[in-house]
Amino acid sequence: MRIVVALGGNALQAEGKPATAESQLEVVKETVIYLADMIEKGHELIIAHGNGPQVGRLVIQNEYASKVTPAMPFDVCGAMSQGMIGYHIQQALKDELKRRDINKEVSSIVTQVVVDKNDKGFQNPTKPIGPFYTEEESKALEKEKGYIMVEDAGRGYRRVVASPAPERIVELNTVKALVNEGQVVITVGGGGIPVVEDQQGFLHGVAAVIDKDFASEKLAEDLDADMLLILTAVDRVAINFGKPNQENLPVMNIKDAEKYISEGQFAPGSMLPKVRAAVKFASSKKGRKTLIASLDKAKDALVGKSGTIVEQ
């Protein structure tokens, strides 16, 4: 199958480990084992990933160092995080494939994604970035920095920024050419660098983070993928999550998924965008499916032993 894989935060950074480049690379080296397993089975992978914690830290670094060197704008920080994460994935995955005697090239594409400058996301920031804070710390940041801080799924408080919908992947033809050559391509990292298009067709970066699940869905449609595989920290999508009557779902059709969304079953900062992206891809063409699964059970999920399938 041609599979677009959307890697969640747990694929890049381990909870409780230091937020260093070295620590991230060690986590990525473990992550690519699961990706290589799928490649070894003959699947054609195109890899996307998030960047919320990484771009948040880059912004903080820029702000604190602004008295020494000019701070980079938000879109540039997004590009920096995309390059850094792509570098780690392509290096680690290439090495893992080499260990298995699989001769396959791995490439990262610094990818821009066009958004609408009038997207309602700019008026209602919802995308969490950066580290988690206590309620006291978040109030101090709101007062000192003017950040918009929200509670994120019971895990603490995080800064949120605009999250406009992806409209067009600028480097799509480049991605297609590499995929058709048999390469494993890492693209739309962090949802892609958000840009707007002026009346002359020129592009300009904007301060936002596109949700990686929606960007991955757009990519999967554009590449006519067979499956969108959203890898996260839980084995299956659940309703009544964390309650005594929690129910893990092996299969979810579009009608039921939309019902659960309307009931508020899924947390906005975590599972909600995954389910919405899953529904959009499964609805886009007959036979397309989305699989939401945990990273370490990805291989089992592909044969129906784990994960949640979203289908028509």
Which region, left, alpha or beta, applies to residue 304 given φ > 0 means left and ψ of -120 to 50 means alpha? left
Q: In 3D, which of 60, 63, 26, 31 has the Cα closest to residue 47?
A: 31
**What pLDDT score does 307 carry?**
95
Name the packing angle between helices 212-222 and 271-284 (round to 10°). 10
Distance CA 185, CA 48 (A): 9
DSSP single-letter state for residue 226: S
**What pLDDT score does 46 carry?**
98
Catalytic residue among 94, 212, 218, 280: 212
Domain boundaries of the chain, sorted by first residue? 2-113+165-310, 126-161
Q: Is 183 exposed, middle or buried (0-12, 13-18, 19+ CB in 10 A)?
A: middle
Among this protein's residues, is 127 annotated catalytic?
yes
Catalytic residue among 10, 62, 94, 192: 10
Catalytic residue among 9, 56, 190, 192: 9
Query: Does residue 150 contact residue 128 with C-beta atoms inside 8 Å?
Result: yes
Per-10-residue mean pLDDT of the chain, 312 residues long, equals 91 82 93 96 96 86 87 92 96 98 97 96 84 89 87 84 94 98 97 96 94 97 97 93 94 96 89 95 95 92 94 92
Among this protein's residues, is 274 annotated catalytic?
yes
**What pLDDT score does 11 carry?**
85
Among this protein's residues, is 10 annotated catalytic?
yes
158 φ/ψ angles, rounded to the nearest 5 degrees: -135, 155
Looking up tokens 């001769």 gives 103
**What pLDDT score does 237 carry?**
96
Catalytic residue among 127, 130, 192, 269: 127
Distance CA 26, CA 19 (A): 11
Rg, the chain, Cα only: 19
Query: Does residue 249 contact residue 238 with C-beta atoms inside 8 Å?
Result: yes
Report pLDDT digits (tens) over 193-252: 999 999 999 999 998 999 999 999 999 999 999 999 999 989 999 999 989 999 999 999
CATH topology of domain 2-113+165-310: Carbamate kinase (3.40.1160)
**What pLDDT score does 59 carry?**
85
Q: In 3D, which of 182, 16, 7 has the Cα closest to residue 106?
A: 182
Q: What is the DSSP string of 15-31?
A: TTS--SHHHHHHHHHHH
Bridge-based pairing of strands 148-151 and 168-169 is unpaired
